[in-house]
Amino acid sequence: MIGPDRRNLVYLAAAAVGLGGVVALGDTYALRVATLVGIYAIAAIGYQLVFGRLGLLSLAQGALFGIGAYASALLTLSLGLPAPLGLVAAVLVPAAVGAAVALPIARLDSHYVALATLGLAQLALLAATNLELTGGANGLYGVPPLAVGPVEIAGGWPMLVLVWALVGLCLLVSRAVLAGGRAARFATLRDAPHAALTLGLNPVPARLALFAVAGALGGLAGGLQVHGIGVVSPSVTGFEVMVTILAIAVVGGRGSAPGAVAGAALLIPLPEVLRFLEGSYLVAYGVLLLAAIVLMPRGLDGWLRDRFPRRPPAVPAVPAAASAPPRRRGKALAVDGLRKRFGGVTALDGVSFAVPAGTVAGLIGANGSGKTTVLNLISGLETPDAGQIRLGGVPLADRPAHHRTELGLGRGFQHPEFPEGLFVLEAAAVAARDRSGAVAALDRVGLAERAGEPVAALGAAELRRLDLARALATEPGALILDEPAAGLTSEERAALAALLRRLADQGLAVLVVDHGMDFLLPLADRIVCLDAGRVLAAGTPDEVRRNPAVVAAYLGEGATA
Amino acid sequence: MTETAPHRGLVLEDVEVRVAGATLLGPVSLSVEPGTVVAVLGANGAGKSTLMHAIVGTAGVARGRIWLGQVEISDRPVERRARQGLGWAPEGRRLFPGLTVEETLDVAAPGGAAERARRIDAMLERFPILAEKRSETAWRLSGGQQQMLAIARAVIADPLAVLLDEPSLGLAPVVRDQVFAAARGLADAGTAILLAEQDVPRALAVADRVVVLARGRLVLDWPTQVAVGNPDFERALIGA
Amino acid sequence: MIEAAAQLAVNAVALGAVYALVALGFVLVIGAVGAVNFAHGELVMLGGMVGVGATMLLPADLPVPGLLVLPAVLAVMAAVGLAVAGIAYAPLRRAPPTAVFIATIAVGLIIQHGVTVGIGPEPRRGPPLVDSGVLDLAGVGLAHQQLATIATAAALIFAVHFLLQHTRFGRRLRAAAQDPEMARAVGIPVRLTIAVSFALAAALAGAAGLLLSNQYLVTPTDGGALMLKAYIATVIGGWGRIWGAALGAFAIAVFETLVAATASYLVAEALLYLGVLAVLAVRPQGLFGETTGRRA
């Protein structure tokens, strides 16, 4: 983003008002509440990375908060280390725990992630309540306050300023984690996982990093809390903390760091404002959380985004070299003896064919003939039971999907998915080397003038082309496309065919799956016809069209009627 | 624009299905009279299943109207179309995996216990393949038996029209013959049958009329005798 | 020795039967709408509280107080189940999967703290099902409450089994859980089956709460641990498998009782959570494999 979005100005204005309010009130209680808001904001900013950006319902953030609190308390109390070092431990220990948890858990489905993180949180609670080390059910007290040199920061204005300075720091950290196009990449991993894999995005480092940062920030918040009030008890790892953070994240707007601050500012003072409800502020939290998720599921930040949409990104000029054929070499695609069974059904029974660089090959066949399975095997979304796949002579067999992109394989999908809220340029740049590479790719598909528009403004045919552009931005040597012409008008189909022809002329090997000869006849150099998992015929379009076996397959099975 | 349907079968007028700006189907106008079989042919992706989904109500129709039994069902939800007299044997059969043959028929049959039992017995008589597998769970049946069950489930409520979506998929030739014979039998008993298929010769053998879809558009709507052997018909099928 | 073992066994079976009831309700909702009801534990607790409250309305020396109150608990909790469906599920039918999960977290909060604020945080004792007597069987003393718990839970489980397997409505409920769209296309009123699933689940939960309330007391904070055990049971048994979840819950109860008797309840809990984490890391699809399609 270039220049402040108006949304951020709204946040800044709200912060100024909040600050003014605290100054005006001035009493110790107001300061303590404001400090607590800051502490929970920090925990929630971290949580947004896992909850919003990864899209995972982790229920361990409260436990990480508590682990940070205990880590710092133990270090300063038992080992007598100075408080700032305790804070460092409060950051590092939960970060390590978060990263350790991420590996086995993050690949699971949502309902398993929730359970696993819940189990972890329960274990943390049990440990805190029952170990002698942690002081058991009573916890630890006498935790020294933070100090900078001889100056103690125990409460009041100094603590407030420290905490909110750290809030600012965490906002910057969050922004840095998401900068450099990473936000769009995380969103693609979350919302379009198959596309992400075929674009070469690897989910594992993303999960590790975001879980670690979430743990770090959650722990930092816990550490600040424990030094601020001087005691730590098992309740800091309890579900109440988790629910508060969750409510803040949802009300603030899932995935938004400034939203987390706003959410905290709204929810934490609630027990005060609702003093007449006495102990039932948690009921109020429940009602607010329910109302938020039902009525305003995108939260405060979502509401602001509707009113103040993001500014379009600056679009670099189309590089001059883009109009000349790119330097990269096309890579031939060859499959040999592919076999695949799903349960009792044989999807592919020995399929072999080749697509030389600089040519377009069409793959046709009836429903259930195995076309999509071939594509999934080539792109690595499935593994063959037997057979080999070669790209530019290099065997692809054991390589995971995201490696194949590096080798030069690109894929287009029949129903391409794009994460919400991106601009065309950002969507195309997800896997590109840099923005000008993305613009060049957009230019090749004829979308360069629309680079600054939101993806939502594109029609179906243009979305297909955008999908192609984001694959082309990885500079592939071979491209496989799944029914790219489905649902398009005849003019759009002709434009698409011309585009694919151009790409092949520029050196790529292009494999197109389609169900009709009308699109492929004028376009393809070769056609392969599949029937019941086997290659029925292969040759020039004319040869295949006239092949009696193909005609029979289309018109019906042989002579027996 | 017609105000009412000309007969008690299935009538479609200018039906269009759009998804995310792309027109998947339409506009399509089609008529399936009671007691006849209309075969819908065309390459995979041409819109045959979309057509079925539009009639069943599981795909939203952007424009156009649908009548069943001279009652307009265009705005009705799925359950009410079923109760109005629409049976559907979807592509891939979609049987309820954990239910037995008898249970599957029971949940689709209308009426009280006695009437349901009567209807189940009638179905098992009509599809003797199923009779011996009465208490078998659906996923254990062979392909042909599953297809028969899917059809029986679609017909047990005596619907006015039945949609059969690629019933021959994955079945051996002999079994296909039985399936198509069953379809013809239903029509002869007075039901309107819309049959989407890739097995062209068998479909032609039982159909009264044949319709070809290509890229979501209706390119041909002829009586079977006119279509068979006609080069234009064959060209339309290949999609060239 | 034998006496202690016999009593332990009876305790384990009684607890197992109740946990199975809880898991049964939990997995019914998962099957019906594919969503986790995070408030399920609170529904168990609420049932116990309703039982306590209903007993206060009865004259003091009535025989079989718990059994008399059971129908009221079932009815009230069924209504609560419908309310939960209306508030936390219906408005979010088309929302992304985790939305229902979060909404039920909110509902659980509301119930738990509503009860705490409304009637106080202290544990309360619910009525015995029959009476507080003890049956002497060959020298071993078995509490009436335990035996009645086993019988009642078994009766309810059997009733659910009968409903699902031998009534048309139960079959339609199963069909709708397996393929809602296809179920609609054969005329099944899926919205009704979903509502009934919620009501049934809540009724079972409430009954479990009543059964637990006499021996284990009922405290407003009970919900979390119970839901977690039902959740774990569902994962162990294979996501979406009704009888797998019931079996899993029974196993958890037996495990818990035995480990608590030999080591401590704390150790039992810790081992349970560690075990679950191990299962998720190694074989998340559970012992019998998943069935239904997934929502959070």
Per-residue pLDDT of B75-88, as tens digits, reads 999 999 999 999 99
- Helix, strand, coil share (%) of chain C residues, nearest 5: 75, 5, 20
Under 8 Å between Cβ of A251 and A299: yes
Tokens 């339309």 sit at which residue?
Answer: B236
Question: What's the distance, CA A236 to chain centroid?
Answer: 29
More confident residue, C210 or A344: C210
Exposure class string for B26-45: b at 16+ Cβ within 10 A, else e: bbbebbbbbbbbbbbbbbbb
Residue B15 pLDDT:
95
Tokens 């999934």 sit at which residue?
Answer: A376
Average pLDDT in the A425-439 region? 91
B103 contacts on C by Cβ (under 8 Å): 171
Nearest C-alpha in C relative to A118: C228
Q: With bands split at pLDDT 50, 70 and 90, how would you rate the model's confidence at A546?
A: confident
Residue C294 pLDDT:
37
Sketch out chain A's domains with CATH numbers: 28-250 (no CATH), 329-408+476-555 (3.40.50.300)
Single-letter amino acid code for the residue at C182: M
Q: With bands split at pLDDT 50, 70 and 90, how would you rate the model's confidence at A558?
A: very low
Please check whether residue B136 lies inside any domain of the structure: no
Question: Hey, which residues does A361 pair with through a beta bridge?
Answer: A511, A526
Asked which of A279-288, A479-488, B127-136 is least confident by mean pLDDT, the reply is: A279-288
* Residue A481 CA neighbour count, 13 Å, CB half: 33
Dihedral angle of Cα A297, A301, A304, A305, to the nearest 10 degrees: -90
Q: With bands split at pLDDT 50, 70 and 90, how would you rate the model's confidence at B169?
A: confident
Segment 236-255 of chain C within 8 Å of chain A by CB: 239
More confident residue, C249 or A369: C249
Average pLDDT in the B87-104 region? 93
Please check whether residue B216 lies inside any domain of the structure: yes
Nearest C-alpha in A relative to C111: A283
Burial of B97 (0-12, 13-18, 19+ CB in 10 A): middle
Model confidence over A90-105: pLDDT tens digits? 999 999 999 998 888 8
Q: Which of C109, C105, C107, C119 is nearest to C49 (CA)?
A: C119
Q: How far is C183 from C195, CA to CA, in rounded Å?
A: 15
Asked which of A552-561, C52-61, C202-211 is least confident by mean pLDDT, the reply is: A552-561
Single-letter amino acid code for the residue at B195: L
What's the whole-number average pLDDT of chain A? 88
B239 contacts on A by Cβ (under 8 Å): 515-518
Of B45, B202, B240, the CB nearest to A483: B45
Residue A174 pLDDT:
96
Please check whether residue B29 lies inside any domain of the structure: yes
Please check whether residue B142 lies inside any domain of the structure: no
Residue B191: pLDDT over 90: yes
Under 8 Å between Cβ of A525 and A540: yes
B97/C187 Cβ within 8 A? no
Residue A298 pLDDT:
87
What's the whole-number average pLDDT of chain B? 91
Model confidence over B46-67: pLDDT tens digits? 789 899 999 999 998 999 999 9
B169/A486 Cβ within 8 A? no
Asked which of A183-187, A547-551, C24-28 is least confident by mean pLDDT, the reply is: A547-551
Dihedral angle of Cα A41, A46, A51, A55, to the nearest 10 degrees: 140
Chains that contact C by 3+ CB pairs under 8 Å? A, B
DSSP state of A260: H
What radius of gyration, in Å, describes the C-alpha atoms of chain C? 19
Please check whether residue B124 lies inside any domain of the structure: no
**Which two structure tokens, joined as six digits, stand for C129?**
């099902």
**Which residues lie closer than 8 Å to A132 by C-beta, 6 or more apart?**
none
Tokens 């939502």 sit at which residue?
Answer: A456
Please check whether residue B141 lies inside any domain of the structure: no
Of B57, B58, B82, the CB nearest to C186: B82
Segment 143-162 of chain B within 8 Å of chain A by CB: none
**Which two structure tokens, joined as six digits, stand for C268?**
């039992």
Helix (H) or strand (E) holding C135: strand C134-137
Residue A559 pLDDT:
32
Residue B41 pLDDT:
92
Average pLDDT in the A361-367 region? 85
**Which two structure tokens, joined as six digits, stand for A355?**
């697509």
Residue B67 pLDDT:
95
Residue B53: Cβ within 10 Å count: 24
Model confidence over A51-61: pLDDT tens digits? 999 989 999 99
Please check whether residue B82 lies inside any domain of the structure: yes
Sketch out chain C's domains with CATH numbers: 2-282 (1.10.3470)
Output the domain CATH number for residue B47. 3.40.50.300
Could you give the C-alpha distances from A220 to A39, A84, A175, in angstroms and in order? 8, 11, 17
Single-letter amino acid code for the residue at C101: F
Asked which of A475-484, A487-496, A506-515 is least confident by mean pLDDT, the reply is: A487-496
Residue A313 pLDDT:
85
Burial of A271 (0-12, 13-18, 19+ CB in 10 A): middle
Q: Which of B128, B131, B139, B140 is nearest to B178 (CA)?
A: B128
Average pLDDT in the C243-247 region? 91
B20 contacts on A by Cβ (under 8 Å): 460, 463
A366/B198 Cβ within 8 A? yes
Q: With bands split at pLDDT 50, 70 and 90, how would you rate the model's confidence at A508?
A: very high
C232 contacts on A by Cβ (under 8 Å): 115, 119
Q: Which of B43, B94, B73, B78 is nearest to B240 (CA)?
A: B43
Of B22, B215, B240, the CB nearest to A460: B22
| Boundaries of domain holding B64 | 10-91+155-238
Looking at the structure of chain B, the number of domains it has is 1
Single-letter amino acid code for the residue at A191: D
Single-letter amino acid code for the residue at B172: A
Tokens 């955008």 sit at which residue?
Answer: A466
DSSP string, C11-37: HHHHHHHHHHHHHHHHHHHHHHHS---
Model confidence over A129-179: pLDDT tens digits? 988 888 888 888 888 888 777 778 877 888 999 999 999 999 999 999 999
Q: With bands split at pLDDT 50, 70 and 90, how would you rate the model's confidence at C19?
A: very high
Residue A27: Cβ within 10 Å count: 9
More confident residue, C259 or A366: C259
Nearest C-alpha in A relative to B43: A515
Q: Is the dihedral of CA A77, A79, A83, A88 positive or negative?
A: negative
